[in-house]
Amino acid sequence: MTPSPTDVAALHTVLLDWFDRHARDLPWRRDPSPWPVLVSELMLQQTPVVRVLPVFEAWMLRWPAPPDLAAEPAGEAVRAWGRLGYPRRALRLHAAAVAIVEQHGGDVPADHDDLLALPGVGEYTAAAVASFAFGQRHVVLDTNVRRVLARVADGQQYPAPAVTAAERRLAGSVLPEVGAHRWAAATMELGATVCTARSPRCGDCPVADLCRWRAAGHPEHVGPPRRGQAWDGTDRQCRGRLLAVLRDSTDPVTLAQLEAAWPDQQQRMRCLDSLVADGLVQPAAGSTYTLPG
């Protein structure tokens, strides 16, 4: 349901004022240049800020611009990614840096379509970079923004599993004509720090009086149950263990070293094969393995 123009104006005023007073001091906000914003957006996918911060800061010191990263092997990006998880993002970021150098003279492009054409950049990331780095007016829908809009404007505890056309129309209807990038950052901040998924702090919410979910008595989510992702014993955990061995070694890694990291041979070899298929690991001489060159 689209809020009334009066409610939209109130949302803008109250939330942006709250953001001015409570926004976290984050490096990609202090320096919203295109490259730091692009790096942060890829690192923050499915990863909390507290884990991203040290990796981001080390990354920017080592590779302050796309040509710096593009000049190094992709394996160095995987090594520097550390334990952020979903390490294919490191390969995509390296590939994006190469494309930026080859197609855009080393500068992150401002055009939304050009951003969308970069490796690893989807609709959300393209809109976020265009908005935060270039001040353009785009709908920016990450998990936190979607949850805030579902509760405040639609009266639902959670949004749908995937972005819907109705949800995108709703987000567009509340997007300010001026300062859309600040609105996106403010709604993200509210979702990340106050209107959280499991323990929302409605008593501290600046827009509580305008929230339809709160006014309806916080109705429970209707639909398929939201399941957390398992970890112990999964292929994801196995892949992470194997990749950690390779990251920590400057020499080719033997199968015996990988066996020490994960004793289940069938699962270990299946996960090793998947890492090779994903381009995160490459076979070397004598049945050894390395990060990609």
Going by C-alpha positions, the residue among 91, 68, 66, 71 that lies closest to residue 81 is: 91
Q: Report the Cα 230 to chain-centroid distance in Å.
A: 20
Q: Check if the beta carbon of residue 124 is closer than 8 Å to that of residue 142.
A: yes
Q: Which domains does the chain have, with CATH numbers?
A: 33-132 (1.10.340.30), 235-290 (1.10.10)
pLDDT for res 105: 98
**78 has pLDDT over 80:** yes
Annotated catalytic sites, by residue? 41
* Residue 9 to residues 13, 23, 135, Cα–Cα distance (Å): 6, 20, 20
CA distance 231 to 15: 36
Tokens 């990749």 -> residue? 243
Structural Rg of the chain based on CA atoms: 21
Per-residue pLDDT tens digits for 20-72: 999 999 999 999 999 999 999 999 998 999 999 999 999 999 999 999 999 99
- 260-275 mean pLDDT: 96
- Using the predicted structure, report yes or no on whether residue 3 has a pLDDT greater than 70: yes
In three-state form (DSSP H/G/I as H, E/B as E, the rest C), the secondary structure along 181-236 is HHHHHHHHHHHHHCCCCCCCCHHHCCCHHHCHHHHCCCCCCCCCCCCCCCCCCCHH
Q: Is the pLDDT of residue 131 over 70?
A: yes
Question: Please, are residues 100 and 107 in contact by the beta-carbon 8 Å criterion?
Answer: yes
Question: Residue 268 contacts by C-beta under 8 Å, 6 or more apart in sequence?
Answer: 238, 242, 258, 259, 261, 262
pTM for the model: 0.92
Among 208, 222, 221, 220, which residue's Cα sits nearest to residue 152? 208
User: Which of 151, 100, 109 is closest to 134 using CA atoms?
Assistant: 109
Cβ contacts of residue 43 below 8 Å, gap of 6+? 52, 55, 56, 59, 84, 89
Q: What is the mean pLDDT of residues 262-289?
A: 96
Q: Report residue 22 as tokens.
A: 């409570």
Banded model confidence at residue 228, pLDDT cuts 50, 70, 90? low
Give the model's pLDDT for residue 96.
98
Q: What's the rounded mean pLDDT across residues 88-102?
A: 98
Query: CA-CA distance, 239 to 288, in Å (whole number)?
Result: 16
Measured in whole angstroms, how far is the alpha carbon of residue 113 from the centre of its chain?
19
